[in-house]
Amino acid sequence: MKTSLFILLSLLSAAVLHAAEMKTSTAPAKSVIEIWVWGGPSQLETFDPKPNAGKEYNNGLKAIPTNVPGIEISEMLPELAKHADKYSIIRSMTHPHRGHETATYLMQTGREPGGGRVYPAIGAVVAMFKSKEYQGELPPYIVLTVPKGRFSEAGFLGDAYAPLVTGGNPAASTFAVDGIVPPGGQTRDAIKRRMEFYKKLDTFGRELGSERVTREFDEAGKQAESVILGDAAAVFDLSLESDEMRNRYGRNSFGQACLVARRLVEYGVPYVTINAQGWDSHKRHFETMKQKTAEMDRAVAALLDDLAKRELLNSTLIWWSGEFGRTPKIDRHAPWNGGRNHFSDCFSSMVAGGGFLGGKVVGESDATGEKVKSRPVAPQDLLGSIYERCGIDPDGPLPNPVNLQVPVLPPESKAGRLRELYPAGDIQK
């Protein structure tokens, strides 16, 4: 059975190579940073403010102009307002699921839940396609700092493309990524010495000859050793950044996670997810938003600015979204007392870099933000656009170890992928 698995994997990588041959006129994005605003961020307090809809909708909050004439965003995002030329806003995201788990699944896989199969999330798929060209020692898919946990992100692709979830707190004095950063500040020499002694003690291993289990164990050990003794752990070492740089991102867990994401992308990791927590604001919505948007605003603006200055924004694609948005009309009844609930009819996402044009708005919501007014964008349209920018054909076959004959994504919706955000002359399928 194991042998057939091996053959299957080799076939799989051949299929990956074949599928990755799609041509784009601009170089495809090398890395993706997903900012997953877990729980459902309010579109009104971020990218789709409704200053004229009345207090029952906007609670008196205003919109502010950005550095792109004609685009206004919420006054909660003053820093992002200075960088609107670097990103584009989608104000017409829409899908039918209002439960966290089904909506997360749909937004992450582009597929309707059900049918007895769990499809892989976009992070696992990109990691699979990109792992041929990626040569780093860190895994190709890294999640900062907690897993989404709603479903297994690798789906039927299996463990090989499951993310490495860092744990730890990047805002702490050391960002202890369990398993990567050696415990107790052990030196390289101490680790080397320990490894040598370890090999001497392997009585059982010496009794075994070369066979599949021993080769698998030794190969995994070699890879692990190269991470420990190589330079990979330094990627997580934020003390290598200046205080000024760390402050720019904000000295909180989310802000520092964005800084780590930049370092990971510099290292070459193809897919990085930051799971931002605390956005499921049924109650105390406006108090929560005040703190959350401040952290988000500062960190994402710093990330965009930093990547642009390092000339990494073209090769790095950023997407920002939750599984849905929140009800535009404020719920003042008990027990919510001024909260916003789950809302998926119309909400906002954001994309930047990776060859996406900046300074644009895709789609519109109606006057109160309760309905899509023009150009609806379905989850598979957004994901399909990200795949295309990464040089992955969303209509091509999805290689998999369970012999399913399926495309990477289901067909795009009528309004289609975000081609209005592709550079002129780029792929038009």
Note the residues at the interface with other proteins (CB under 8 A).
1, 101-102, 104-105, 113-118, 139, 147-152, 155, 158-160, 162, 164-165, 167, 176, 178-184, 194, 197-198, 200-214, 216-217, 219-221, 223-225, 227-228, 280
Residue with tokens 């989608």: 90
- The nearest distance, CB 34 to other proteins, in angstroms, is 17
Q: What single-letter amino acid sits at 318?
A: I
For residue 182, the minimal CB distance to other proteins (Å) is: 5
Closest CA to 389 of 398, 381, 379: 381
Largest CA distance in the chain: 77
Location of structure tokens 């020499």: 189
CB closer to other proteins out of 137 and 412: 137
Q: Give the shortest CB-101-to-other proteins separation in angstroms.
A: 4
Per-position b or e across 128-142, b if 16+ CB within 10 A of its CB? bbbbeebebbbbbbb
Q: Of 72 and 153, which has the nearer Cβ to other proteins?
A: 153
Nearer to other proteins by Cβ, of 158 and 338: the residue is 158
DSSP codes, 242-260: -HHHHHHH-SSHHHHHHHH
Least distance CB 195 / other proteins (angstroms)? 8
Distance CA 374, CA 365 (A): 7
Neighbour tally for 22: CB within 10 Å: 18
CB of 225 to other proteins, least distance (A): 8
At 406, list the tokens.
């399926």
Looking at residue 343, the DSSP 8-state letter turns out to be E
Q: Which is nearer to other proteins, 270 or 396 (CB)?
A: 270
- Closest to other proteins by CB, 77 or 103: 103
**Under 8 Å between Cβ of 36 and 275:** yes
User: Which residue, 253 or 385, has its beta carbon nearer to other proteins?
Assistant: 253
Q: In this complex, which beta carbon is closest to other proteins, that of residue 148 or of residue 360?
A: 148
CB 145 within 8 A of CB 257: yes
Cβ 340 to other proteins shortest distance, Å = 16
Q: Residue 207 or 243: which CB sits closer to other proteins? A: 207
The answer to whether 383 and 408 are in contact (CB under 8 A) is no
CB 342 → other proteins: shortest distance, Å?
Answer: 12
Cis-peptide into 423, omega within 30 deg: no
> What Rg, from alpha-carbon coordinates, does the chain have?
23
Which run of H or of E encompasses 93? strand 87-93
Whether 230 contacts 180, CB under 8 Å: no
CA–CA distance, 15 with 20 (Å, rounded to integer): 8
CB of 132 or CB of 199, closer to other proteins = 199
